[in-house]
Amino acid sequence: MRIRELSVPGAWEFTPRQFGDARGVFYESFKASEFEKAVGRPFDLLQVNISTSAAGVLRGIHYTENPPGQAKYVTCVRGAFLDVVVDLRRDSPTFGKWDAVVIDDVERKAVFLAEGLGHALLSLEDDSTVNYLCSLEYAPEFDRDLDAFDPELGIEWPTVGRNGETLTFIRSDKDAAAPRLADLKLLSRLPGTSAAN
């Protein structure tokens, strides 16, 4: 497995080795020993989520108050997504910085993001399916949202999907009404720890 840290500390990209033959393909999507060696901590799995999205569906930016925080290990099992990680830890030297990885059913990359980081997914084709491992069970009282189109972040969202089609962004009402970073700063609604892991 090839592993690299993203430009946002506490976020990592994992690219598995794939073994194919006439029967199909085998690969290890997650391996605790390699994860711990790279990241320096175990991953405590408490919940697994799966969602399927049409092309253009944009989920996020979502984050969890820290503490308790929620770490995620995200993989695409069908289709393709742009996976975006944003540093929302207010005392972090990379606060407000973002990085992105295309996760798809070809290279089968995974993205890990530590507690205190924001996360968004843009589906790049119809019926794209994502699987994410979570270190915290769903706790709506800790869930927070940030506007994915906040100009202060300047995220470069693609407008063309994997098959060359023009993407029309589709967001939930909750995500469309999410506050901007400046508002969250005023409300003191941002994670406070900059621990990288």
User: Using one digit for the tens of pLDDT, what is the confidence trace for 176-188?
Assistant: 999 999 999 888 8
Which one from 27, 62, 63, 73 is the annotated catalytic residue?
62
Residue in the block written with tokens 């598995």? 16
Model confidence pLDDT, tens digit, residues 94-111: 999 999 999 999 999 999
3 state DSSP class of 73: strand
Residue in the block written with tokens 């769903």? 138
Q: Is the pLDDT of residue 67 over 50?
A: yes
Which fold is adopted by the domain 2-186?
A: Jelly Rolls (2.60.120)
pLDDT at position 193, please? 57
Domain locations in the chain? 2-186
pLDDT band at 50 (very low <50, low <70, confident <90, very high): very high
How far apart are alpha carbons 133 and 71 in whole angstroms?
A: 8
3 state DSSP class of 44: coil
DSSP line for 109-172: -EEEE-TTEEEEEEE-STTEEEEEEESS---GGGEEE--TT-TTT-----SB-TTSPBP--B--
63 catalytic? Reply is no
62 catalytic? Reply is yes
Q: Is the pLDDT of residue 195 over 80?
A: no
How far apart are alpha carbons 124 and 10 in whole angstroms?
A: 25
What are the backbone dihedrals phi and psi of residue 23, each rounded to the nearest 5 degrees, phi first? -80, -25
What are the backbone dihedrals phi and psi of residue 141, each rounded to the nearest 5 degrees, phi first? -70, -15
3 state DSSP class of 176: helix
Which one from 63, 73, 119, 132 is the annotated catalytic residue?
132
Name residue 65's beta-bridge partners.
none
